[in-house]
Amino acid sequence: MATLSEPIEILYKHADGIDIYMDVYLSPSSSQENPAPILFWWHGGGLLQGTRKGVSPHHLRAPTNHRVTLVSADYRLAPQFRLPIILSDCADAVNFLHTEDFRKATQGRADPSRVILSGSSAGGWLSFLCGYRIGFDKIGIPKPPIVQGIVPIYPITDLEDPFWTTPQRPVKYMDRVIAREEVQPFLNPDDPTSRIASSTLDSPRAIFYSYMVQEALLENLLLSGTNIPASTFSVAGYLKEAVGAAEEPDLPPTYIVHGDKDLKVPVEQSRDVVKALEDLKQRYEYEEIPDLDHLFDREPDYQMGKMYAFIEGVFST
């Protein structure tokens, strides 16, 4: 049984009166002389809900079993904060790894020169956007540092997919229609009590994602008022534009995993990106797992063996 370490909680940003934190889980075998590389993970929830505390059991075992530093960071939540602000939080979090404050907090036992970005669901999308540095120039936000790899887990990848634009009443995985009154406080972008960077997994806000799918509101909640087209953040769209370009991007190695029975993020979101990576002749690995739904890796005994083999391969080169 792997030893599970307690996280170091670090404040990485003050923003709009909100303190935004990351949790760092150090590998017990790391030291100042031999620091462990960093697996940086963002939580899911459609960028509407969730918390850095939502790491899966395999994540908690990873510092011991795979000798990585696990970092899980919060970010401000939509619609009180739109996608450009959320991306700025994510870029700041990756930049923070290179600061003296991070080095001191981790006793120099985490290696910021070796970073893989990961995330689950919407967090997987953030790992794509930050790892491939998609949309930053178009929205005027400085790009995050270059990383060694990305590992999106059942990721959202395209706001314009019919799954996000077609109402479902009820959604396929629920037996009732969610009333607007249940999520009214969270829908209001100006509600001061909803301006947060974290929501617990059992909070009233935990139903917000399902309401969004039910009413097909994702683009509106993330981009309303910004005048930024949804295509700006399409991962496959970005890759397709790069095919045949005068200077094709040099992308970090990528591992994507998705269950083919996913009811909360359709597997086509990953398949579209995989096809584009293939056309662009980029280094990637894709694991599509039969008969598994969203959040399959939250099961206590799920190992994610192929994913960690990929991670260890990247860090060993």
Range of the domain at 293: 8-316
Question: Does 4 score more than 70 pLDDT?
Answer: no
Looking at residue 246, its pLDDT comes to 63
Q: What integer pLDDT is reported at residue 24 of this predicted model?
A: 98
Is residue 118 situated within a structural domain? yes
Answer yes or no: is 296 within a domain: yes
Residue 181 belongs to some domain of the structure: yes
- For the segment 170-200, what is each residue's pLDDT rounded down to a tens digit? 999 999 999 999 999 999 999 999 999 999 9
Domain assignment of residue 1, yes or no: no
Q: Count of domains in the chain? A: 1
Residue 260, in any domain of the structure: yes
Residue 1 pLDDT greater than 50, yes or no: no
Q: Does 293 score more than 60 pLDDT? A: yes
Within-domain flag for 2: no
Residue 153 lies in a domain: yes
pLDDT surpassing 60 at residue 107? yes
Q: What integer pLDDT is reported at residue 243 of this predicted model? A: 79
Which CATH number belongs to the domain containing residue 256 in this structure?
Answer: 3.40.50.1820
SS3 string, the chain, reads CCCCCCCEEEEEEEECCEEEEEEEECCCCCCCCCCEEEEEEECCCCCCCCCCCCCCHHHHHHHHHCCCEEEEECCCCCCCCCHHHHHHHHHHHHHHCCCHHHHHHCCCCEEEEEEEEEEECHHHHHHHHHHHCCCHHHHCCCCCCCCCEEEEECCCCCCCCHHHHCCCCCCCCCCCCCCHHHCHHHHCCCCHHHCCCCCCCCCHHHHHHHHHHHHCCHHHHHHCCCCCCHHHHCHHHHHHHHCCCCCCCCCCCEEEEEECCCCCCCCHHHHHHHHHHHHHCCCEEEEEECCCCCCHHHCCCCCCHHHHHHHHHHHHC
pLDDT computed for residue 247 by the predictor = 74
* pLDDT computed for residue 55 by the predictor: 97
- Asked if residue 3 belongs to a domain, the reply is no
**pLDDT at position 285 over 80:** yes
Q: Please give the average per-residue pLDDT across 38-58, as a whole number.
A: 98
- pLDDT digit string (tens) for 213-261? 999 999 999 999 999 999 999 999 999 998 777 677 889 999 999 999 9
